[in-house]
């Protein structure tokens, strides 16, 4: 029970880490789950769509850094806890055996320096993989300032690795975490991950595949604009093979320097996710997103709908002639829907909304912006 009590102290606050917790666009929210010991285990949706029970935890909540927004910052008065790699790995395997957890997201406060802390994370993952035979999902955090060889070892042991940038650039990071170096400590490990992917065969990885890479931003914590966040996200997508950016709307933590700063509307977080998907999956360019003069996304409408209202209301797209890139700009049509339309067009001309609906298209969203065989589709606008 003492081990479980310690684990509760380390896992309870990890709801602040959104990685894997949020479902992909268009899926239903996942419900929380409590395992028999009373630990909070986060429902996780993996890149392929599979859902697992993911224990999110720290190896230690002791931290020598003093990031202004963080509940684990040095000097903050709360009860801390620590595990050694061997005892933690064996405890986690017990949870797996009891079917209380299926995978793990493992991070840590920084104690004794970044390199030493990363070594403990790697030792824990190595014990799980090579001593205890765990073949499930591991998401391993790369500490700020980790060395290149540590990044390689993390890639050999994990299914996913991440470095939290927290802010979009050096100037903004200074407002959140003045003792962290944006380029040298945070961006450099992400560059190393991509360099290793490109130059080294994954035969040394535990499953012979290199892990995916994600990052997280504290949205609104440094008074940055959506344009700043998405500019960095777009660069990461194109240059370091980022799988996904996560956005966590800032909310104040008591007994931190930002405790009196106003919380950010969660809707802003949602709009950032929608816009990041447009950049990653829908072929949108950053310049096409409908930013306000302040560089923020409008909250009343999702960015794809806002773009379509400006660009497609008077010039609807012909479903039977539009290319895939054009189809993806129509609200209600995603990558699978676009592919289904292209396939269906090989066999017949699409003339009715019912035909699109059978292909999985959200016709109420798409109808105002399309032509079917040269004619506007008849549809009933929603009252609300």
**Please, are residues 53 and 33 in contact by the beta-carbon 8 Å criterion?**
yes
In the prediction, which pLDDT does 34 show? 45
Alpha-carbon distance values, 267 to 30, 118, 307 (Å) = 18, 34, 18
What pLDDT is recorded for position 16? 79
pLDDT score recorded for residue 215: 97
Are 185 and 114 in contact by the 8 Å Cβ rule? The answer is yes
Whether residue 29 has pLDDT greater than 70: no
What pLDDT score does 33 carry? 46
Whether residue 244 is predicted with pLDDT greater than 90 in this model: the reply is: yes
* Residue 35, pLDDT above cutoff 70: no
User: With 90 as the cut, is the pLDDT of residue 161 above it?
Assistant: yes
113 within 8 A of 120, measured Cβ to Cβ: no
**Model-level pTM?**
0.91
pLDDT confidence band for 383 (50 / 70 / 90): very low
Does the structure show a pLDDT above 90 at 160?
yes
> Which of 13-22, 111-120, 215-224 has the least mean pLDDT?
13-22
The arithmetic mean of pLDDT across residues 8-12, rounded, is 89
% of the chain beyond a pLDDT of 70: 93
Average pLDDT over residues 37-52: 77
Higher pLDDT, 41 or 235: 235
pLDDT digits (tens, 9 = 90+) for 93-107: 999 999 999 999 999
| Residue-level pLDDT at 19 | 77
Taking 80 as the threshold, does the pLDDT of residue 122 lie above it?
yes
Range 25-51 average pLDDT: 62
140/40: higher pLDDT: 140
Identify the CATH class of 2-288.
Answer: alpha beta
Chain segment 294-353, per-residue pLDDT in tens: 999 999 989 999 999 999 999 999 999 999 999 999 999 999 999 999 999 999 999 999
CA–CA dist 200, 148 (Å, integer): 13
pLDDT confidence bin for 379, thresholds 50/70/90: low
Predicted confidence at residue 37, as pLDDT, reads: 53
Per residue, the 3-state secondary structure of the chain, as one string, reads CHHHHHHHHHHHHHHHCCCCCCCCCCCCCCCCEECCCCCEEEEEECCCCCEEEEEEEECECCCCCCCCCCCCCCCCCCCCCECCHHHHHHHHHHHHHCCCCCEEEEECCCCCCHHHHHHHHHHHHHHHHHHCCCCCEEEEECCCCCCHHHHHHHHHHCCEEECCCECCCHHHHHHHCCCCCHHHHHHHHHHHHHHHHHHCCHHHCCCCCCCEEEEEEEECCCCCCHHHHHHHHHHHHHHCCCCEEEEEECCCCCCCCCCCCCCCCHHHHHHHHHHHHHHHHCCCCHHHCCCCCCCCCCCCCCHHHHHHHHHCCCCCEECCCCCHHHHCCCCCCCHHHHHHHHHHCCCCCCCCHHHHHHCCCCHHHHHHHEEECCEECCCCCCCC
Q: What is the pLDDT of residue 22?
A: 52
Per domain, the residue ranges of the chain are 2-288, 312-376
């Amino acid at each position: 029970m003492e081990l479980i009590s310690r684990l509760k102290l380390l896992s309870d606050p990890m709801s602040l880490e959104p990685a894997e917790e949020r479902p992909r666009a268009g899926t239903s929210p996942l419900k929380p789950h409590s395992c028999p010991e009373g630990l909070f285990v986060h429902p996780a949706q993996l890149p392929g769509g599979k859902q697992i029970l993911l224990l999110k935890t720290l190896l230690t909540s002791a931290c020598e850094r003093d990031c202004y927004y963080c509940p684990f910052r040095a000097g903050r008065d709360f009860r801390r806890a620590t595990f050694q790699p061997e005892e933690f790995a064996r405890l986690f395997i017990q949870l797996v055996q009891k079917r209380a957890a299926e995978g793990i997201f493992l991070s840590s406060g920084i104690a004794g320096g970044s390199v030493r802390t990363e070594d403990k994370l790697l030792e824990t993952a190595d014990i799980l993989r090579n001593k205890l035979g765990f073949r499930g999902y591991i998401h391993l955090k790369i500490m700020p300032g980790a060395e290149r060889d540590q990044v390689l070892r993390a890639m050999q042991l994990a299914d996913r690795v991440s470095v939290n940038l927290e802010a979009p650039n050096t100037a903004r990071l200074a407002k959140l975490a003045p003792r962290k170096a944006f380029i040298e400590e945070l961006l450099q490990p992400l560059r190393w991950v991509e360099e290793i992917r490109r130059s080294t065969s994954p035969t040394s990885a535990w499953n012979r595949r290199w892990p995916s890479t994600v990052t997280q931003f504290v949205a609104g914590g440094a008074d940055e604009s959506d344009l700043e966040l998405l500019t960095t996200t777009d660069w990461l997508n194109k240059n370091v093979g980022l799988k996904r950016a996560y956005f966590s709307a800032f909310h104040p933590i008591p007994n931190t320097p930002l405790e009196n700063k106003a919380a950010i509307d969660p809707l802003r977080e949602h709009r950032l996710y929608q816009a990041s998907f447009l950049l990653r999956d829908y072929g949108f360019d950053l310049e096409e997103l409908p930013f306000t003069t302040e560089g923020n996304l409008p909250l009343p409408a999702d960015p794809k709908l806002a773009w379509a209202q400006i660009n497609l209301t008077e010039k609807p797209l012909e479903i039977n002639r539009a290319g895939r890139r054009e189809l993806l700009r129509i609200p209600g049509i995603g990558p699978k829907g676009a592919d289904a339309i292209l396939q269906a067009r090989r066999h017949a001309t699409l003339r009715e909304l019912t035909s699109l609906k059978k292909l999985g298209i959200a016709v109420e969203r798409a109808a105002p912006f399309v032509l079917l065989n040269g004619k506007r589709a008849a549809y009933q606008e929603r009252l609300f």
